[in-house]
A = this chain, B = another copy of it.
Amino acid sequence: MAKEYVSMRNLRFVLHELFQVEKLTTYQRYADHTKDGFDLMIDSAKQMADTLLHPIYREMDDNEPKMGEDTVHVHPDMRKIMREFGESGWIACQEDYEHGGQRMPATIYGASNFIFHAANTSAASYFGLTGGSADLIGTFGNQELKDTYLAKMYAGEWQGTMALTEPHAGSSLGDITTTATPAGDGSYRIKGQKHFISAGDHDGVDNVVHLMLAKIPGGPAGSKGISLFVVPKKRPVNGELVANDVKTNSFEHKMGMKGCPIAYLIMGENDNCHGWLVGEPHQGLKYMFQMMNGARISVGMMSTALSSAAYYASLQYANERPQGRHVSNKGQDGPMVPIIEYADVKRMLLFQKSIVEGCLSLVMQCSYYEDMIRVTEGEEREKYQMLLDVLTPMCKTYPAEMSLLSTSQGIQVLGGVGYCADFPLQQFYRDTRINPIYEGTTGIQAMDLLGRKVTMKGGKAVMLFGAEMQQTVMQAMQDEKLKPYAEKLGASLQKFSEVTMKLMGLAQTQEPEVFLSDATLYLENAGILCVAWQWLKQAIVVQEKLAAGQSGDELAFYEGKMYAFKYFFEYELPKSIGLVKRLMSDERLTLEMSEAHLN
């Protein structure tokens, strides 16, 4: 097991130097917090991760859950983990005081979440899902639901889930067939099947509470007729838990994330599955999207966390593994050198560092917008909401897609042993492969960006977002050392805006399939620009710190940041040129061709 999986120094840089989170304490919602308090939270997160999560990362992979009589048997520590994260307040942390929460800012929770997932992403999913689904009940549920479920969920005694997918309806949620029929007593009778429900059943908790999408018969067709229900595995009746006719039929064997089972549930086989409506009928998708948007940002963070864990594991190996000699050592004699001394190994490590620290900054930008939405009002709040809406598809997708490459480079640094189970690299690689699929695939995110977010409010949201990036460019132009990079990003933004104009033109004159046909490439390009923007923001701060004078480890830290920043601009940003070239082309191969051409 690698010694380290995150850089606490870099987390403090992001929180305090880049986003200056202590400014949040000037708003009333966060007025009880202090900078030191934030640091204590992060340090406590690290300690929880070190002691409870990280030690069993491999064990949870080696020992897959097992189907039992009435539940799924997971790693025996999961019960302790759920309870300890509950009792120490992590599951409820972002909530208001009256729900037992701490009003923890999204940025601080995001940083903690990063640590938890880097330590053990399977284990962190259990309580992450519980917190998200409890928050959903807290926001949209009635008092009875809150009274019945929140305390148990926030205590980590009951698991919460998102139950959306059905065997025949994944991306196409409008086609779900699970029904919820009014029972006349204020509850509903649920009938149907759900698939791929993460932590959908296990013996680490006393009950499982599904936040489930279903259709009330007679409601509107498609996605307009979806309602949200609380459907527990066991329903509380007079203080007792009674089986609620939710059967775990099976769970899937997966290539990664093995520690967290995804269940196939059958509800209402005996017509005795009770569900309770959350909020208004037919508003389920809208409610669920509160959790979904948070979940998308969380996927960006999980991906970045796995890239981080892979980076530090491969960095440690590169420092310790002697092999061969420098090419300038003509006789190829003398002792072997640690592989970190080779340019190509440094390149592989620097690539990982530029992805980890670039993506972390991007995801934290979203968390920062979330916080600003919580503390502002009116037009200002609307501005932050638009910025968050536009940035979410990139925040979900770029870290997820790049984590495939970044963890892969981690394996490559180790060579053959990276492929072997005795080193964790191959587990990071397997675990992260789900991230471009979770919570809306890359293709779905691309449609969301180009088909919805770009055109939203007459293009106002994208303009706002472009202005944010432009502002960073203008600021960096003032610094002679950063000016060449600012110019590069400025030029790339200009090209990208030409692409957007061209596609919007197509949108007005042709079927929507045409302008959306390469939406995935458009999203990829946008992701590169967003991370370049975040790196430029970081570089501005770093230049200030260097100008103030640094020495020792701190000097190395800031210089290292500059190398990773330059790496991104030298090796990653140029990929945008090829993407623009394609996006400006009028060859519509995928629309012209038929299925027969693929045989």
Chain A residues at the B interface, C-beta cutoff of 8 Å: 7, 165, 168-172, 174-175, 196, 221-223, 252-256, 315, 319, 322-328, 331-333, 336, 340-350, 353, 404, 408, 411-412, 415-416, 418-422, 426-427, 429-430, 433-434, 436-437, 441-443, 446-447, 451, 511-513, 516-521, 553, 556-557, 559-560, 563, 566-567, 570-571, 574-579, 581-582, 585, 587, 589-599
Contact = CB atoms under 8 A, between A and B. Distances in A.
A421 B254 contact: yes
A349 B598 CA distance: 7
B254 A336 contact: no
The 7 closest A-B pairs by CB, nearest first: A574-B578, A560-B597, A172-B324, A255-B426, A253-B421, A343-B517, A346-B590
A322 B170 CA distance: 10
Contacts of A567: 589
A411 B429 contact: no
A176 to B, nearest CB: 12
The residue in A7, A328, A341 that gathers the most chain B C-beta atoms within 10 A of its C-beta is: A328
A446 B342 CA distance: 13
Given A420-B253, A512-B327, A599 B315 contact: yes
A586 to B, nearest CB: 10
Contacts of A254: 419-421, 426
A222 B598 contact: no
B333 A222 contact: yes
A431 to B, nearest CB: 10
Tallying the copies of this chain within the complex gives: 2
A127 to B, nearest CB: 22
Contacts of A174: 332
A328 B507 CA distance: 12
A560 B446 CA distance: 26
A415 B343 contact: no
B587 A566 contact: yes
Contacts of A175: 324, 336
A526 to B, nearest CB: 16
A581 B563 CA distance: 18
A416 B196 contact: yes
A10 to B, nearest CB: 10
Contacts of A343: 513, 516-518, 590-591
The residue in A171, A252, A332, A443 that gathers the most chain B C-beta atoms within 10 A of its C-beta is: A443
A420 B252 contact: yes
A429 B575 contact: no
19 contacts: A221-B333, A222-B331, A222-B333, A253-B421, A254-B421, A255-B427, A255-B429, A326-B513, A343-B517, A344-B447, A344-B520, A346-B598, A347-B520, A416-B434, A418-B437, A521-B571, A570-B582, A574-B577, A577-B578
Contacts of A349: 598
Given A253-B421, A513-B328, A412 B442 contact: yes
B441 A350 contact: no
Contact of A598 (B315, B575, B597): B315
Contacts of A589: 350, 563, 566-567, 570
Contact of A319 (B256, B327, B592, B595): B595
Contacts of A319: 595
Contact of A255 (B331, B333, B419): B419
A437 B420 contact: no
Contacts of A420: 252-255
Contacts of A408: 404, 433
A512 B331 CA distance: 14
B578 A170 contact: no
A344 B255 CA distance: 24
Contacts of A443: 342, 344-345, 348, 412
Contact of A421 (B255, B347, B575): B255
